[in-house]
Chain A
Amino acid sequence: MKKISLFIGALLFSTLFYKQSLGLNMSLFSLITILVLAIYNPKSFKEKRTIALSIIYIITATSIFFYQSVLSTIANCVAFFTLIGHVSEHHSSIYINWLNGFYTFVAGFFHRNFNVIENEQKVTPKKDIDYVHWIKIIGIPLVVIIVFISLYKNGNPVFGNLISKIDFSFINLQWILLSVLGYYLLYNISTPISVNPATDSDLKTGNTLTNKTEFSIENAKKENQLGVILIALLNVLIVIFLITDFTYLVSTTDLRASVFSNQVHSGINALIASIIIAIIIILYFFRGNLNFFKDNKTLKNLAFIWIFLNMVLVVNTFIKDGQYIYYFGFTYKRIGVLIYLLLTIIGLITTAIKVKQIKNFWYLLRVNTVAAFTILIISSAINWDKQITFYNINYAQSMDFEYLIDLSNNNTFLLKQYSDNLFLKGERKTLIDKKYRYYLRELNNRNWQEYSYDNLLLKE
């Protein structure tokens, strides 16, 4: 039963992907994957977390069916590795899930092949396969038969006619090879593998710092002094920066896109550097003994103030980006800035928690990777091109029309609707009509494996 599911899966894999682009096939493949995983790992699928990850995986696959965007494809791959990694080890961190999932997907067959050899040799010595004999009994008769067929073909016209009628063109070797690849991939993921010692080490590592050894009070005092001076100075510096930045923000009347762009992007660069250095400095001072030093309250308070001021910096950049969007509409870069700011806020909050609750570096890594994964999944479920177009057409003070035309086909129907409703004329109408025509042609040329939601709209 188990092997049959792999064979069927392999044949379906080839049917779905042979000379096809992505679309409905990814959704169907995700179902096949989950089915194979569930057949081979029934216990794992009794867990709520496995079911939740399966649902997330299906959502990302469905979003490919709806939007066919690069982001949905990336999210689908990440969700796929997370699910497989989770099945391999239920209690490991998400980044270890990715490692295990990716390794299982790539080389599970060879890992298990090696393990089988190892186990077999320990229990009973395996009888060596006589490859030479097999080559002889298959290869030699095959070559001899081919030689004789070619001889007889020329010698007898009736036999030659019969041989020439044999047509093997229906066998598509590429299709068969893709099926073999499908079998290899499904076999790999059927029994997920844990990469060790990475997984074991992750399982042993908790989230909290412990005071294992007695430390020198004198050294801790010196380090505490250094930390207080450094973070206090950095606090002063960031306050001055924020005051000047807010003054500029309030006083500026220049509404040119280039000025906004420069402000937001240079602000973001400053923010990236500032936040990374802030987290590294905080991690350095609160890496061990200083967490348990009784006179560390000033240092902790200064660290909290610094984190708070960095958050103000984030809000400041958010306002600038918001103004930029209000005047000139959405673009992928401006949305990227918003997502980065959101991740930064999460990073700063978790750093504050790390300092307050004496957590270790692994806690930060675990929580923040989960946050990044969640944001990726949510982002992949949004039709960004359509949302950008909708906002820019209806709400933006000025709009870059060529940018909207250059976006993917996900906004084509919306642009067409916009053109028809406003009775557009001239170059804009020509560009929209051209995009619409090309897209219709593309939709009509698709095979069922490549279908997207727009194909269904077209049929209605």
Chain B
Amino acid sequence: MKTSKIILKATLLSTCIFWLIIFSGNFESLMIPFMFLSLIPISLCCATTIMITILPFFRFKTINNKNNIVFKKYFPFYAIVCFSLCFYGVLIDLDLACFYVSAFFTTMQSWVWFGKEVESKS
């Protein structure tokens, strides 16, 4: 699976979670156009985050390391740091919970997609 495809899937997942949380609090049909418009900044956020914080683990791996080994070795610590930062963000400003929650779940799932990508190659 190519990185661009993972970014696309991450964008869709992130948008769904983000708007699901917003709509759970207050649903207005006028917000629907913004939902589609938000795909642009969300895709930028996803691409940046994935390329800066996840992709390097898989691109700069040693020859002996398969993707599943990279996943098992680094994902736990990434998950812990990511959760701590997102949790801190939610504590600081509860209104941004939708952003942090979607960021957390999207990055977690992106790791699984990257790990899976390696497996399908092998």
Is chain B a partner of chain A in the same complex? yes
Which residues 87-115 in A have Cβ within 8 Å of B in the complex?
Answer: 99, 102-103, 106-107, 110-111, 113-114
Across the interface, A106 reaches (CB within 8 A) one of B21, B24, B79, B115, namely B79
Assembled-state Cα–Cα distance A313/B77 (Å): 39
A-B contacts, 24 of them at CB < 8 A, read A99-B76, A99-B80, A102-B80, A103-B79, A106-B83, A107-B76, A107-B83, A107-B108, A110-B75, A110-B108, A110-B112, A111-B75, A114-B75, A114-B116, A117-B112, A117-B116, A118-B115, A118-B119, A173-B20, A173-B24, A177-B21, A177-B24, A195-B76, A196-B73
Assembled-state Cα–Cα distance A173/B98 (Å): 14
Which residues 32-89 in B have Cβ within 8 Å of A in the complex?
Answer: 68, 71-73, 75-77, 79-80, 83
Residues of chain B with a CB closer than 8 A to A196's CB: 72-73
A110/B109 in contact, CB under 8 A: yes
Assembled-state Cα–Cα distance A51/B73 (Å): 31
In the complex formed, the residue of A with least CB distance to B21 is A177
Assembled-state Cα–Cα distance A106/B78 (Å): 11
Q: Mark B10-42, 1 if CB is under 8 A from A, else 0.
A: 000000000011011100000000000000000
Q: Mark A406-427, 1 if CB is under 8 A from B, else 0.
A: 0000000000000000000000
What 6 A-B pairs are tightest by C-beta distance, nearest first? A107-B79, A173-B24, A106-B83, A195-B76, A110-B108, A174-B24
In the complex formed, the residue of B with least CB distance to A176 is B24
Which residues 127-182 in A have Cβ within 8 Å of B in the complex?
Answer: 173-174, 176-177
Across the interface, B120 reaches (CB within 8 A) one of A107, A121, A197, namely A121
B21/A110 in contact, CB under 8 A: no
Instruction: Indicate the member of B20, B24, B76 with the most A CB atoms within 10 Å.
Output: B76
- Asked whether A117 and B109 contact (CB < 8 A) given A103-B76, A107-B76, A111-B76, the answer is no
Across the interface, A113 reaches (CB within 8 A) one of B77, B79, B112, namely B112
A103-B80, A110-B109, A117-B112 provided; 8 other pairs, C-beta below 8 A? A103-B76, A103-B79, A106-B80, A106-B83, A113-B112, A114-B116, A173-B20, A196-B73
Residues of chain B with a CB closer than 8 A to A118's CB: 68, 115, 119
Q: Mark B79-122, 1 if CB is under 8 A from A, else 0.
A: 11001000000000000000000000000110110011001100
Residues of chain A with a CB closer than 8 A to B77's CB: 195
Residues of chain B with a CB closer than 8 A to A113's CB: 112
A114/B23 in contact, CB under 8 A: no
Assembled-state Cα–Cα distance A102/B79 (Å): 10
Assembled-state Cα–Cα distance A168/B109 (Å): 32
- Asked whether A114 and B76 contact (CB < 8 A) given A107-B108, A174-B25, A177-B24, the answer is no
Assembled-state Cα–Cα distance A457/B90 (Å): 35
Q: Distance (Å) between the CB of A300 and the closest chain B CB?
A: 39
A107/B24 in contact, CB under 8 A: no
Q: Distance (Å) between the CB of B103 and the closest chain A CB?
A: 14
Residues of chain B with a CB closer than 8 A to A99's CB: 76, 80
Across the interface, B112 reaches (CB within 8 A) one of A106, A114, A121, A177, namely A114
- Asked whether A117 and B119 contact (CB < 8 A) given A174-B25, A177-B21, A195-B76, the answer is yes
Assembled-state Cα–Cα distance A139/B25 (Å): 23
Q: Distance (Å) between the CB of A153 and the closest chain B CB?
A: 14
Assembled-state Cα–Cα distance A113/B115 (Å): 11
Assembled-state Cα–Cα distance A103/B75 (Å): 10
Residues of chain B with a CB closer than 8 A to A106's CB: 79-80, 83
A114/B24 in contact, CB under 8 A: no
Q: Distance (Å) between the CB of A392 and the closest chain B CB?
A: 32
Q: Distance (Å) between the CB of A454 and the closest chain B CB?
A: 26
Residues of chain A with a CB closer than 8 A to B76's CB: 99, 103, 107, 111, 195
B80/A114 in contact, CB under 8 A: no
A107/B75 in contact, CB under 8 A: yes
Assembled-state Cα–Cα distance A111/B119 (Å): 15
Q: Mark A186-210, 1 if CB is under 8 A from B, else 0.
A: 0000000001110000000000000
B24/A197 in contact, CB under 8 A: no
- Asked whether A173 and B23 contact (CB < 8 A) given A106-B83, A111-B76, the answer is yes
Q: Distance (Å) between the CB of A88 and the closest chain B CB?
A: 12
In the complex formed, the residue of B with least CB distance to A173 is B24
Assembled-state Cα–Cα distance A121/B121 (Å): 11
Assembled-state Cα–Cα distance A173/B23 (Å): 8
Residues of chain B with a CB closer than 8 A to A121's CB: 119-120
Instruction: Indicate the member of A111, A113, A174 with the most B CB atoms within 10 Å.
Output: A111
Assembled-state Cα–Cα distance A118/B72 (Å): 12
Residues of chain A with a CB closer than 8 A to B80's CB: 99, 102-103, 106-107
In the complex formed, the residue of B with least CB distance to A120 is B119
Q: Distance (Å) between the CB of B78 and the closest chain A CB?
A: 9
Q: Distance (Å) between the CB of B96 and the closest chain A CB?
A: 16
Assembled-state Cα–Cα distance A121/B20 (Å): 32
Residues of chain A with a CB closer than 8 A to B23's CB: 173
Assembled-state Cα–Cα distance A197/B76 (Å): 11
Residues of chain B with a CB closer than 8 A to A173's CB: 20, 23-24
A110/B79 in contact, CB under 8 A: yes
In the complex formed, the residue of A with least CB distance to B116 is A117
Q: Distance (Å) between the CB of B17 and the closest chain A CB?
A: 10
Instruction: Indicate the member of B112, B116, B119 with the most A CB atoms within 10 Å.
Output: B112
Assembled-state Cα–Cα distance A173/B112 (Å): 28
